[in-house]
Structure 1
């Protein structure tokens, strides 16, 4: 690589760091406040009203709770990248990363649970009315949570043990375990991408497609050829927004390692 290419690479890296700095310093606090207020209102709606007795009400309430935890966890990046405040502490690092990953997974899969619940109530309204209860929703949510605790538990162990200033986010894979370091940087991002973004997107999209198809068949029987455009729009938006919101986060997780390391090194 010649000096010209090296200079271009440095400039691009600096531009990326500057953009990230302003996003976390200015944009994220606004997103955080709006998200907290929205989740608080949602929590009140689905915990105080009669909606808390429905299966969907349970999923929406948990969605608000876990999304709030994820937003609070994101404040660390706001401090680290936006305001250059490093917190190299082992307990804090492991607890934060573990809770953020679990809460983000739960947020994504609560949307999946809502979509599946909605499909079952459209496809099998009588059966769903009997079995899609608050109790079943709590059981399903507990099972999903156990799965993601198991998936992310390694983030709360000694495998995460590099808290130096050169480590990404002062919280990186422990160099004493080289096999885990290789797994963490090369395999783990793909596992997280699949479980957090791709699988939820596929399931939500399939459920929405089945709902649209079922509604179409019913309207054909009733000799109403035109589908409800508002319903189709809502279902399509829910699928597209899920992938648009989740995919950039998983991509950023890979880029963030580079950004955070560069920031700490420059400081």
Structure 2
């Protein structure tokens, strides 16, 4: 048995596997419930009128897809020692492609909402003509199409490879099919993916959040100065519209903060990978690293917890959730009454 104690002890490697086995089902169940409920609430007539709903719906669908494309595969692999990528060459290609595509869509939805909220905060009058549902749909479709196209090389780069070695056929179930593509994927694509998955979104989200928070604080200060001396009170409709805009901006800042907090560790891990993992460590042992498990749990937590952000920062969302559960209770009560009378 090989000794990898210079990398991690046996107990640490076992702990890494246990993290995948224990926490993954919890995130799957919690994330499925939260994203499904988010989709249910966001498709009600009250929310469908909002431009931001287009983005939030796309985000919920992308997050739900990532939980089942990514996290479910990992749980099955670490628990039952079965990898969907190894079942066939086609599944290898499709899973790699789906994973990268869904990740890009989920990541770039938030910068799109940030830009839309930034325009609405800085230029509230012009935003009514610019930030429309049609524009939001065009942006969302553009993000999806771009993600589909930019990752298409994976479909011909990965697959099942059979090689003749020492008069024996050796099967590699899911690897780069050529040495040139392997070099491109490991040396060039890694940095391209780092830019599109983290560095560029982080830059947009951070600068956008700073501007939004600054404008909200400035608007709040101006409103207090305007009301205090004269005692005038803003019209109810205008005050309600302003409050909704502020609530949406606060929700967006919370979503962006959680996104950065949950995705930054995995990016740091990838950047530092060559420095703190010895080159003689096999890939299957690297994947048992407890730090690798923890940064991935944080990543998938981001795809599971947006529902909580909606409830904490959005009063309309909370009220709609209450109505859904009250309606469910009333339906159950009516069903029980009908059954009793029958």
Q: Which has the higher contact order (CA 8 A, sep 6+)?
A: 2
Change (3 A) 1:53 1:220: closer
Q: CA RMSD in A?
A: 3.2
Answer whether contact 1:17 1:259 (CA < 8 A) is retained. no
CA contact (8 A) 2:42 2:48 kept: yes
The number of residues matched between the two structures is: 249
Question: Within 5 A, what are the aligned runs for 1:46-195?
Answer: 46-74=42-70, 75-87=72-84, 88=86, 89-157=88-156, 159-162=157-160, 170-174=173-177, 177-195=178-196
Q: Structure 1 CA distance, aligned partners of 2:132 and 2:253?
A: 26
Q: Please state how far the C-alpha of 1:215 moved relative to its aligned partner.
A: 2.8
Three-state SS of the structure 2 residue aligned to 1:9 is coil
CA separation in 1, counterparts of 2:65 and 2:144?
14
- The answer (yes or no) to whether the contact 2:90–2:159 under 8 Å persists in 1 is no
Range 198-207 or range 211-220, more displaced: 211-220
In the alignment, is the contact (CA less than 8 A) between 1:198 and 1:243 conserved in 2? no
Please tell me whether the aligned partners of residues 55 and 136 of structure 2 are also in contact (alpha carbons under 8 angstroms): yes
Is 1:193–1:247's contact at 8 Å kept on the other side of the alignment? no
TM-score (norm 1): 0.80
User: How much does 1:251 deviate?
Assistant: 5.7
Instruction: Tell me by how many angstroms 1:28 deviates.
Output: 0.8
Per-residue deviation at 1:162? Answer: 4.3
Match of 2:17 in 1: 21
2:263 to 224, 234, 246: 246
Query: Where does structure 2 lack aligned partners over 5 or more consecutive residues?
Result: 163-169, 226-246, 274-280, 288-342
For structure 1, the 5+ residue unaligned runs are 1-5, 225-229
CA distance in 2, matches of 1:220, 1:122: 15
In the alignment, is the contact (CA less than 8 A) between 1:201 and 1:242 conserved in 2?
no
Query: C-alpha displacement at 1:191, in angstroms?
Result: 1.6
Task: Tell me how far apart the structure 1 counterparts of residues 4 and 285 of structure 2 sit (CA, whole Å).
Answer: 16
- Aligned partners of 2:253, 2:57: CA distance in 1, in Å? 23
**Greater Cα radius of gyration, structure 1 or 2:** 2
Cα distance between partner residues in 1 of 2:102 and 2:210: 27
CA contact (8 A) 1:189 1:250 kept: no
Cα distance in 2 for residues equivalent to 1:242 and 1:40: 19
TM-score (norm 2): 0.64
Deviations 1:108-165 (A, max 9, x none): 11111122121111111121122211111110011111211121111122x1024689
* Partner Cα separation in structure 1 for residue 130 and residue 122 of structure 2: 13
Question: Do the aligned partners of residues 172 and 243 (structure 1) sit closer, same or farther apart at CA in structure 2, a change above 3 Å counting?
Answer: farther
What's 1:197 paired with?
Answer: 198
